[in-house]
Amino acid sequence: MIPRTLFNAILAALACSAAAAHAADLTIHLDARDVARKRIHTEMTLAVAPGATTLVFPEWIPGEHSPSGPLDSMIGLVIEGNGQRLAWSRDPLDIFALRLNVPRGTNELHITLDSGLSTEGDGFTASPTSSDQLAVLPINEFVLYQKGRDAENIRTVLTVIPPQGWGVATALDTKPGSGGGFELEEASLTRVIDSPVQIGRYMKRVDLPGSAPMPELRHDIAIATDSAEALAFPEELVAGYGNLVAEAGALFGSRMYRHYTWLLTLSDHVAHFGLEHNESSDNRRDERTLIDSALTPWLAQLLSHEYIHSWNGKYRRPQALLSPDYQKPMDGSLLWVYEGLTEFWSDVLATRAGLLVPEQYRESLAVIAGTFDTEPGADWRPLGDTAVAAQQLYYSPAAFASSRRDTDFYDGSVFLWLDVDAEIRARTNGQASLDDFMQRFYAGQSGAPQVKPYVEQDVYDTLAQIAPGDWRALIRRHLDEYGTKALFGGLERSGWKLEYTAKNNFWLEYYEKRKQVTERRNSIGLRLDKDALITDVIEGRPAAKAGAGPGMTLIAVNGRKYTPEILDAAMVEAQSSKKPIELLVENNEFYKSLSVEYYDGPRFPHLVATGGQADTLSSVLAPKVTTPAK
Q: How far is the CB of 276 from Zn ion (least distance, A)?
A: 6
Distance of alpha carbon 51 from alpha carbon 460, whole angstroms: 48
From residue 145, alpha-carbon distances to 48, 60, 126, 404, 460 in Å are 9, 14, 20, 38, 38
Q: Within positions 426 to 465, which residues make up the interface with Zn ion, using CB under 5 A?
A: none
Give the nearer residue to Zn ion in terms of CB position, either 154 or 264: 264
Distance of alpha carbon 534 from alpha carbon 554, whole angstroms: 7
Helices (H), 399-545: 401-404, 411-427, 434-441, 456-466, 471-480, 485-493, 506-515, 542-545
Strand partners, 501: 604
Q: How far is the CB of 578 from Zn ion (least distance, A)?
A: 46
Q: Within positions 143 to 182, which residues make up the interface with Zn ion, using CB under 5 A?
A: none
Instruction: Decide: residue 394, CB within 10 A, 0-12 exposed, 13-18 middle, 19+ buried.
Output: middle
Give the nearer residue to Zn ion in terms of CB position, either 97 or 193: 193
**Region from 133-141, 167-175, 331-339, 615-623 binding Zn ion, contact rule CB under 5 A:** 331-339
# binding residues, Zn ion (CB under 5 A) = 1
| DSSP state at residue 162 | P
Give the nearer residue to Zn ion in terms of CB position, either 241 or 344: 344
Q: How far is the CB of 311 from Zn ion (least distance, A)?
A: 12
Q: How far is the CB of 344 from Zn ion (least distance, A)?
A: 11
Q: Within positions 309 to 328, which residues make up the interface with Zn ion, using CB under 5 A?
A: none
**Region from 228-236, 237-245, 291-299, 334-342 binding Zn ion, contact rule CB under 5 A:** 334-342
Q: Look at residues 417, 171, 441, 437 and name the one whose alpha carbon lies nearest to residue 316.
A: 441
- Report CA torsion sign: 510, 206, 63, 138: positive
**Residue 589 half-sphere exposure toward CB, CA atoms < 13 A:** 0
Give the nearer residue to Zn ion in terms of CB position, either 273 or 506: 273
**Region from 108-116, 173-181, 333-341, 413-421 binding Zn ion, contact rule CB under 5 A:** 333-341
- Give phi and psi for 417, each to the nearest 5: -75, -30
Q: Within positions 339 to 368, which residues make up the interface with Zn ion, using CB under 5 A?
A: 339
Q: How far is the CB of 280 from Zn ion (least distance, A)?
A: 14
Q: Within positions 123 to 142, which residues make up the interface with Zn ion, using CB under 5 A?
A: none
Q: How many CB atoms lie within 10 A of CB 168?
A: 20
Give the nearer residue to Zn ion in terms of CB position, either 314 or 493: 314
Give the nearer residue to Zn ion in terms of CB position, either 392 or 431: 392
Q: How far is the CB of 310 from Zn ion (least distance, A)?
A: 11
Q: How far is the CB of 482 from Zn ion (least distance, A)?
A: 26
Give the nearer residue to Zn ion in terms of CB position, either 407 or 626: 407
Give the CA dihedral 591, 595, 601, 604, nearest 10 degrees.
-50
Q: How far is the CB of 207 from Zn ion (least distance, A)?
A: 25
Contact call for residues 121 and 159 (beta carbons, < 8 A): no
Q: How far is the CB of 305 from Zn ion (least distance, A)?
A: 6
Contact string 507-526 vs Zn ion (x = CB under 5 A)? --------------------
**Region from 8-16, 166-174, 335-343, 563-571 binding Zn ion, contact rule CB under 5 A:** 335-343
Give the nearer residue to Zn ion in terms of CB position, either 194 or 339: 339
| SS3 call for 582 | strand
Distance of alpha carbon 135 from alpha carbon 69, whole angstroms: 18
Which residue minimizes CB distance to Zn ion?
Answer: 339
Q: How far is the CB of 312 from Zn ion (least distance, A)?
A: 9
Sequence letter at residue 518: T
Give the nearer residue to Zn ion in terms of CB position, either 412 or 550: 412
- Give phi and psi for 273, each to the nearest 5: -165, 180
Give the nearer residue to Zn ion in terms of CB position, either 28 or 275: 275
Report how many helices (DSSP H) and strands (DSSP E) the chain contains, helices first: 19, 32
**Region from 253-261, 338-346, 349-357, 585-593 binding Zn ion, contact rule CB under 5 A:** 338-346
Q: How far is the CB of 368 from Zn ion (least distance, A)?
A: 15
Contact call for residues 593 and 582 (beta carbons, < 8 A): yes
Q: Look at residues 309, 343, 284 and name the one whose alpha carbon lies nearest to residue 124.
A: 284
Helices (H), 131-280: 189-193, 235-252
Give the nearer residue to Zn ion in terms of CB position, either 140 or 407: 407
Distance of alpha carbon 585 from alpha carbon 593, whole angstroms: 6
Instruction: Decide: residue 233, CB within 10 A, 0-12 exposed, 13-18 middle, 19+ buried.
Output: middle
Give the nearer residue to Zn ion in terms of CB position, either 339 or 519: 339
Give the nearer residue to Zn ion in terms of CB position, either 339 or 536: 339
From residue 449, alpha-carbon distances to 158, 207, 257, 281, 444 in Å are 19, 21, 5, 14, 11
The alpha carbon of residue 106 and the mean position of all alpha carbons in its chain are separated, in whole angstroms, by 41
Give the nearer residue to Zn ion in terms of CB position, either 153 or 392: 392
Q: How far is the CB of 336 from Zn ion (least distance, A)?
A: 12
**Region from 336-344, 367-375, 432-440, 573-581 binding Zn ion, contact rule CB under 5 A:** 336-344
Q: How far is the CB of 353 from Zn ion (least distance, A)?
A: 18
Q: How far is the CB of 62 from Zn ion (least distance, A)?
A: 11
Contact call for residues 133 and 202 (beta carbons, < 8 A): yes
Render 87-109 in DSSP notation, one character per residue.
-EEEETTEEEEEEEEEPTT--EE
Give the nearer residue to Zn ion in terms of CB position, either 65 or 493: 65
**Region from 83-91, 280-288, 332-340, 597-605 binding Zn ion, contact rule CB under 5 A:** 332-340
Q: How far is the CB of 306 from Zn ion (least distance, A)?
A: 7
Letter string b/e over residues 276-293, b meaning 16 or more CB atoms within 10 A of that residue's CB = bbbbbbbbbbbbbbbbee
Residue ranges that bind Zn ion, judged by CB under 5 A: 339
